[in-house]
Amino acid sequence: MPRLTVIAGLVAGLVVGAAGAAPLKVVCTLTDLGWLAAEVGGEDTEVAVLCPGQYDPHFLPARPSLARELGKADLLCYNGLELEIGWLPALLEKARNPRIRPGTAGDLDCSQALSRVLDVPTGPVSRAQGDVHPLGNPHYLLDPRNGVLVAKLMAARMSELRPEAAERFQDRANRLAADLTPRIAAWREAAAPVRERPLVQYHTQWEYLADWLGLELLGAVEHRPGISPSPRHVEELEARGRATGVRELIAAPWNHLDAARKAADRMGAVLVELPAAVGALPEAVDYVAMFDLILARLLAAAGE
Ligand SMILES: [Zn+2]
C-alpha cells in the first residue's frame, strides 16, 4: 500500500507538477507525531517517522538514512523544546532541504500548539552539565489533550502547504478531536484509584500525564533529567519513598531499568514499565492504545 502511494505520487508529480495531487511528504521525529500526522493527513500525505518508538528520543543515533528521509520532506513535524536537539540539527544539516528550513512553512515545531509548558526552569540551566530539559519539560504528548492541540496545528500547516486539501485536513482533525475527547474523560475517570498512590518516576517523563490524570509524583531517580543520579540523591529518594509508602516506580522501556528496579526494591515498590511513546511497548500500537496500556498497567499495579 505505501509503495503504491509512492508510485502514484511520483507519476502525478511528473505529469501535473507541483499543482497536482502528489501527497504531501511529512516527516515526523516521533511516533506519536507520526500517528497524529497520519490521522490528520490521511491519503493526502505520506508520513515517515525518524525515531522508532522503542528509542529514547533524547538520544537517537543520527544515521544517514534519516538524513535521506528528511531530504524528501515537504513538512517536518518535531516535538521541540529541545527534545531532539541531540540529533535533529545534525540531520537537517546533512539533508540540505530548503523546504523544511527553520522559519519556512515546512518547519513545524509542534510545541507551538501548547497553552503551557511544565517545569520551565526558573534559575540558570547549564546544558554543559547535560540537563536535557533546559526549556521546560518536553514530554507533553503524554497528555492526550496536547495531542488534540497538535493535530489542529498540523491541520492548519498542512492546509497552508496543500490548500486544495484544506477542508479534508480540517475535517480529519475535527473527527480525531471528537473521537479522543470522550476517551480523555474516560481515562481520567478510570485513573481515580491511582490518584491515591504517590509515584516515583525514573526520568521526569510523566509530568504531563500526572498533571492531566491528577497523579502525585513524589520524585525522580534522575535528579536532573538525562544525568546519572548521585548515590546520595537516590538514597534520599528511597528513604522518602519508604516514608511515604510509595508502591510503584514508573519508567520508560529505554530507561536504566536495572537501576530503576534496584531503587524500587529498596523503597518497597515495584517497577512499572509504561509506554512513553507509540510503539514503546508492543501493545502500544497507536496513540489510543498507548493510553489504554498506561492506564491498564497503573491500575493493575494498584491492584485494581
Ligand atoms: Zn526528557
Residues 88 and 168 in one domain: yes
| Cβ–Cβ < 8 Å for 110, 154 | yes
Strand (E) positions, 55-160? 75-78, 107-109
How far apart are the CA of 136 and the centre of ligand 1, in A?
9
Provide the number of structural domains found in the chain. 2
Query: Containing domain of residue 293, as a range?
Result: 191-301
pLDDT tens-place string over residues 234-245: 999 999 999 999
Residues 262 and 224 in one domain: yes
Q: What is the CA radius of gyration of the chain?
A: 20
Beta bridge partners of 47: 26
How far apart are the CA of 20 and the centre of ligand 1, in A?
41
| Residue 18 cell numbers, joined | 507541483
- pLDDT at residue 304 in the model: 85
> Does pTM top 0.75 for this prediction?
yes
Distance CA 278, CA 35 (A): 8
Cα 223 from chain centroid?
21
How far apart are the CA of 142 and the centre of ligand 1, in A?
12
First to last CA, the chain: 41
Residues 71 and 173 in one domain: yes
Residues 274 and 242 in one domain: yes
Q: Cell numbers 498540523 correspond to what residue?
A: 154
How far apart are the CA of 250 and the centre of ligand 1, in A?
14
How far apart are the CA of 68 and the centre of ligand 1, in A?
26
Distance CA 288, CA 150 (A): 15
Question: In which residue ranges of the chain is pLDDT below 50?
Answer: 1-19
Residues 229 and 80 in one domain: no
- pLDDT at residue 226 in the model: 84
